[in-house]
Structure 1
Amino acid sequence: MDAFLREMKLHPQCVDVPGTARAFAREMRRGLSGEKSSLMMLKTYLSAPEAGRIQGRAAAVDIGGTNLRAARVEAHSGALEILSQTSGPVPGLGVRITKEAFFDEIARRILPVAEECARLGVAFSHSAEILPSGDGRVLSLSKEMRVIGIEGAHVCREICLALRRMGANVPERCVLLNDTTAVALAAAGRAGEDAVALVLGTGLNICYFDRGEGMFINTEAAGFDVFPRGAADVLVDAGTSTPGEHLLEKAAAGRYIGGLVLAALRLAAREGLLTPRCAEGVLALGGLSAAEVSAYLAGETEGDALRALCAGPEDAQAVAAIVDAVLERAARLVASAATGVLLHTGAGARPERPAVLSCEGSVICRMPTFKERVEKVLVRETAGKLGRHCRTAAAGEDAVICGAALAALMD
């Protein structure tokens, strides 16, 4: 199995953390200088909020990769309070819809929380070029969303047009930001400018404060591609709506990690590494979700499709080895990306003042063993070999909504 994992580039040792971190930092510099890079390094035109000076009420919406959440948020005395909220599936997931239908549905979701709110913050989990005006232009969608004609759309303008079509009040100020930028804003209020925001759920991204630019920078880390990839990665990538793009995301994020485990199992079956009964079950399996991987890791009997495939101890060992390799490689890649940010900014150089990795998302926060894997890499490799010190902290389930509200309320 060890030789198979190395051949597939899934063995954790295929990821050299110091080398990958330096490559990430190099891609950051190239992106910032306008050179060709796998990292877009998008400007946000947002700086760290002075929490004590933020006052008022705003509507906030989180357009995620799976769900859409809208809330009415009030800021007072440096604290944020969610007054009301709604949540449901994001439009355009798994079905093709038009740009107009997409924004009309978002506007409908905002209406119940927009009363008495002159400001609207929109957290958007897909690639968008943020403009100095506070609006942003959609560059591409990821996470298998399909919205016809959305590329180039100005998100705030489209939402306001949809609200106007419905006869609703249009906010005086509407601000677009990436969901990871929203997490960074919320974290900066607690941990300062050395906080690095990591969102790892359906998708993957990193945002940080760049002192040279004087603002938060959205790295669009999903696009990083300077790491070894093998046959399982190629199979997963070929089955997506964006082949050749978002390669780091496809190696670590929740939308793809189950598919990566399944692709590796199918390759192992063809190599004769599974018993005939297990191989037959693997090849017949239609798909594998991150939730099913989590069920396996947690030892749950219900929803554990992986354990049900095993015909005996030999299969159990093979499945365990593949799951462990996929997750450990993903953790090493994620830690490498975060370390690359620290190398670029210089944060975390002193052990008594570690940088803070503010984490949000289902994989990093709720998938069994994953956060612990990342933390071990940060200690062993980031601190031990590169002299950068970093601790993780949960951003909190309301971080994106609160960060979007902060952006709307900032002048």
Structure 2
Amino acid sequence: MSAATSPSERRVSARIGAISESATLAVDAKAKALKAAGRPVIGFGAGEPDFPTPGYIVDAAVEACRNPKYHRYTPAGGLPELKSAIAEKTLRDSGYEVDASQILVTNGGKQAIYEAFAAILDPGDEVIVPAPYWTTYPESIRLAGGVPVEVVADETTGYRVSVEQLEAARTERTKVVLFVSPSNPTGAVYSEADAEAIGHWAVEHGLWVLTDEIYEHLVYGDAKFTSLPAIVPELRDKCIVVNGVAKTYAMTGWRVGWIVGPKDVVKAATNLQSHATSNVSNVAQVAALAAVSGSLDAVAEMRTAFDRRRKLIVRMLNEIDGVFCPEPEGAFYAYPTVKDLLSKEIRGRRPATSVELAALILDEAEVAVVPGEAFGTPGYLRLSYALGDDDLVEGVSRLQKLLGEARA
């Protein structure tokens, strides 16, 4: 071993040094910095509702601030009353009956995902990851010692993978399959029949399933959310559900998520969290309690707005030559392919990749989008339509003008 690579000389560990920055947060930060500098940037980067957190949730948090009960440490796994409420909410929304002892409250969905993988993966275990994927999934798997194995779906299948594709990726080292519906970044929603087929395939081969249900309430048209452990009961002993309040209740900054799973796995993840962070902020937990226990009326209002924006952004994007955007059925993202624009001349530049195209768009149109490389599929862009209608129209109009100049 050379001096340059010896442990005593390495300033950042190889494990952490291999992690990439969150591309979505990086794009959002750059857009906000440019706006702060006075540039009229419109950001489609962050997956963050533009609505304020509903007032009754904020009021609950304010009251919690005044209560000395919440000024102290509380159980690392979550407030007992919140865990009970999450169990009731899970039955209400998913038809999946669980006990409070099967729940761990985490600092947002990201911590839930990492701790879930950390609790079940040993070094070298493989996780099948359908792509396009949210940028955090493979990094969490690697941090937990696992190996992400990508299975790619494209616009021709509505970004949905088949059982046949999953089976082709399965090896003797496969331990987990990741299932996400509705999807970030594509907005794809699996039918109940397709979800059930994937669940039965996992049971047949003794695989674990980690399913991320964070967008459960954001489905449109004829699409329907289905919870895998609810429709495939045989899966429950090897299924971990990740969820949270961030998207449904416009609470991204409150940082409350949770894991639902088998008791032994949840206990192991709770032990990990007891050393990593201890309890989630009590004030945020009380806010989450108000959210999951309350009415879904505010959610319905947001979903109506997202549905309107969904149709608008897809129509406007598909008016651009060289762009094709399937209509997303859930979440709040559009994921158009821009492969036909690559290497064409746009204002004296020939972007060869979607990374280069996204940079050109930011420079020339002052619009921030996330390139498909961040999600494992070059040649695409992700645009969040969780922003105001006026900004959406202005931003996509700028794209239409700029990309309309593309020449061979």
TM-score of the two chains, using structure 1 as the length reference: 0.33
Q: TM-score, normalised by structure 2?
A: 0.33
* Structure with the largest fraction of strand: 1
